Amino acid sequence: MKMTKGKVMMAVGFICIIGAMAFVVRNYIESRNAGDLADSYMTLVEQQIPDHDDGIAIPKEGEMPAIDVDGNSFIGIVSIPALDISLPIQRDWSSQNAKISPCRYKGSVYENNLIVAGHNYDRHFGRLKNLVSGDTVIITDVNGLSFYYTVTYTEIIDSYGVDLMDQGDWDLTVFTCTIGGSSRVTVRCEFTGKVVVSDQNLFN
């Protein structure tokens, strides 16, 4: 009887190990595919962003314009040099959209209240937790205007406290869920006042 029980325990342990390995492999494949998909859309979005001279006006309010790429709407690009990522931002948040790239959760870059959400894939927002105060985040709209922000604060918000996302006077917030989805890694940023177009500073 003891031998039988021991074999059962070994079998259960083996099944758990196989299950864990399958979970890791599945996550790796999903992350890789999501990164490749975001890269392909990134190229197409960049191709539609125009070049401008210094005469372009900077909107002071309003929704961010969007461009259509293969049936998906994008409002721009988020770039985080410290993490070596640049990703297209979709206009509307949904779990399905986030499998392609980060999405606008709410707000507008022109009104200093943009919130961008993304999945925790390694090549999406999976490394947000590594950002520190002083790191740079850049939001480029579809008109080619790049707005520069500085990371000032990182917090962990419970999954039931998502309504806290837009509380506080933050110019930009980017966030993702932790592994398991029990909480949200939330990075708060301040606008530096720097806006760039065609490699020329409009304001600094």
* CA quadruple 155, 75, 160, 129: dihedral, nearest 10: -30
- Nearest by Cα to 111 from 50, 191, 49: 191
pLDDT one-digit tens code per residue, 32-68: 655 577 788 999 999 988 876 556 778 888 999 999 9
pLDDT one-digit tens code per residue, 112-143: 999 999 999 998 999 999 999 999 999 999 99
> Which pTM was predicted?
0.81
Catalytic residues, which ones?
A: 119, 177
Domain ranges of the chain: 47-203
pLDDT one-digit tens code per residue, 92-111: 999 899 999 999 999 999 99
Mean pLDDT, residues 20-24: 45
Mean pLDDT, residues 162-184: 86
AA identity, residue 91: R
What would the CATH number be for the domain defined by 47-203? 2.40.260.10
Residue 196 has pLDDT above 80, yes or no: yes
What percentage of the chain exceeds 70 in pLDDT? Answer: 78
